[in-house]
Structure 1
Amino acid sequence: MGYSAGGAKGVGSIDQAIQCVEREDDVLATEVSAFKRFRTLVSRVDPEGPSPRQVGNAGPAFARATAPDQARDCGQSACSDVRKAYRQTVMATDHYEAEYGETYAESIEAEFGATFAAVLAGGGRFSADVKSQLITAITRGIEDRRATRSTLQRERTALERAGTTLSALRDDLAAIGSRPFVECQYTELRAVREDLQAIERQCERLVTERQTGDFHTAAILLSRESGGSLSQFLYDSLEVTYPILHDAASVGNRVADLRRRIDEQLARRPASAGGPGSHKTEVAEHLY
């Protein structure tokens, strides 16, 4: 069986992978709440400057001269309100510094693009159109995170199901490995060898399902992330990039080791015990 752990370098741990998924889900849940609060605060910011009639009683000429400046000041004040709201919500999350460590301008550009950064962090005017588009962008960011959380839930389910399957297979292998093969009859050894083949087939099905079937998870990433698979995104901090494939490979290696020990004992049994000659041929075919 050609198992490949996808470049895994250490001891595989589906439990550690589940912890990574849970941590990322907690981050996303916190960010969804933070962006919802930010959206609420932005919706309360009035981007409009005063009209000429609101300037005062100094006359139409003064109104025409001062209204544009006051409108601009109001717009810039609105940008300050947006900045304050962002810092009080998104940038105030417990994980922000560790996960991002970005300045306000950097974060706005990463989340919403250079155009918004130029307005909100570059001294532009917070017009009604900017406000509307910003609220739309915030909502899109919230929905992206919710979609990613759904993907993480599918990934966690896949990890848990695979972990349960592999744990049961490891228990079966531990029971097989505890048997004194040297004392077993030929027919017993053949039966155990068939059990190992069944375990191997279960591993192969698990690997196939992980790559193409029920255990496969679509690679949906946050909008601020670029490229890379879901596994790379989630498990970059682990020694194992593909935990299910790694642990399946570990079980497969154990199967191979036990089968080798059994084949050695089968080859030593006398012909009267069940015909070792035919088994030697079978072993050779399996190896080559």
Structure 2
Amino acid sequence: MHTHTLAPIDTALERVATERRALDTERAAYETFANRVAPLDVAVPAHQSTASQTLPSAVGVDRRPCGTDPIREAFRDTVMSVPHYDADYGESLLAHASGELSPELARGLQSDAPPPGFKRTLLDEVEDAIKRRRSLLDHLVTEADSLAAARSALRDVVAGLDSVWGRREGGASAGPTPDKLTEQCRAVIEDRQSLVQNRLFSSIHDGHDFCTYLYGDVDGWTYPVLSVAASLRRDIDALDSSL
């Protein structure tokens, strides 16, 4: 009777799964980008002088100065080529590099003569971008586990509500009381609130920002578990008053 009430949690689980796939794809793209950039020598523009084009090379590695053209090409081929890029970002190279790395690095990517230490700084920022995604992936694993546990507990509440409704209609007398169902809902709410409030991120975001990031544009709710639990509490209260 009340199984449709769990729909926000089902939607949330789908959103988490989608975000995990996207973040893991981005993590891999940044790692591939870093691997392509690491062997490049960008200290001197490719067009500067004939002498600069004949620097000694390590075996199997082209160490000729190349400017930033290959870096921009690698960025487009990796970071900007993930399947969801247009839908989720849809930005120019400059805008995306500025937001994901830094405005200074974005300007450096546009220059044929990047400042000293540019590549090292770029690779450091790329490593930070990878670490941020790994951290978010860890939080998404925790979120998926929390959603699944809450769904299981609230599914029991749904079954209990149906049982109470059946008793009201003259069915079997065994089953949970409205007070017991209320307590089950309360336990889920407290566990969920504790998780949201105590999440620790390496960035400035907190647990509430995390929920907004995941669910803020979905069907008018930002806290799927709390939304479902509150709906079930209203159903329990309404049924209790009619018994």
Pair in the same fold by TM > 0.5:
yes
Where structure 2 has 5 or more consecutive residues not aligned to the other structure, the ranges are 54-63
Q: 1:208 corresponds to which residue?
A: 190
The correspondence for 1:172, drawn from 160, 169, 193, is 160
1:274 is matched with which residue? Answer: none
CA gap of 1:39–1:226, structure 2 versus 1, over 3 A, is farther
| Cα distance in 2 for residues equivalent to 1:254 and 1:219 | 34
- 1: CA distance between counterparts of 2:167 and 2:139? 43
What is the distance in 2 between the residues matched to 1:137 and 1:173? 53
Residues 27 and 53 of structure 1: is their aligned pair in 2 closer, same or farther, counting only changes over 3 Å? closer
2: distance between equivalents of 1:226 and 1:256?
Answer: 33
Q: 1:32 to 1:217 in 2, by over 3 A?
A: farther
Runs of at least 4 residues off by over 3 Å: 48-56, 219-223, 225-228
Higher relative contact order (CA 8 A, sep 6+): 1
In structure 2, the residue corresponding to 1:78 is in which secondary structure? Answer: coil
- Deviation by residue 1:135-188 (Cα, 9 ceiling, x = unmatched): 11101100110000000110111100000000011011101102245x69xxx7
* Aligned counterparts of 1:216 and 1:227: Cα–Cα separation in 2: 6
Cα distance per residue 1:87-131 (max 9 Å; x no partner) = 00011111001000000110110111111111112x252355110
| Aligned amino acid, residue 44 of structure 1 | P
Q: TM-score, normalised by structure 2?
A: 0.82
Q: Cα distance, 1:221 vs. partner?
A: 8.3
Alpha-carbon separation, structure 2, partners of 1:150 and 1:227: 14
Contact 1:209 1:216 in 2 (8 A): no
Q: Calculate the TM-score normalised by the size of structure 1.
A: 0.70
Q: Residue 146 of structure 1 aligns with which residue?
A: 134
Opposite residue 15 of structure 2, the aligned amino acid is C
Q: Which consecutive unaligned segments of at least 5 residues does structure 1 have? A: 1-9, 57-73, 263-288
Q: How far apart are the structure 2 equivalents of 1:217 and 1:26?
A: 25
The 5 A counterparts of 1:107-118 are 107-118=96-107
Provide the rounded CA distance (Å) in 1 between the counterparts of 2:52 and 2:112. 22
Do the aligned partners of 1:31 and 1:90 also contact (CA within 8 Å) in 2? Answer: yes
Larger Rg: 1
Is residue 137 of structure 1 aligned with residue 116 of structure 2? no
- Structure 1 position 11, deviation (Å): 8.0
Which of 231, 241, 261 is the aligned partner of 2:242? 261
SS at match of 1:150: helix
Residue 47 of structure 1 contacts residue 128 of structure 1 at CA under 8 Å; is this kept in 2?
no
Matched, 1:27 2:22: yes
Compared with structure 1, are the counterparts of its residues 206 and 93 closer, same or farther at alpha carbon in structure 2 (3 Å cutoff)?
same
How far is 1:48 from its partner? 3.4
Partner-residue secondary structure (3-state), 2:163: helix
Identity among equivalent pairs (%): 24
Q: Does 1:251 align with 2:240?
A: no
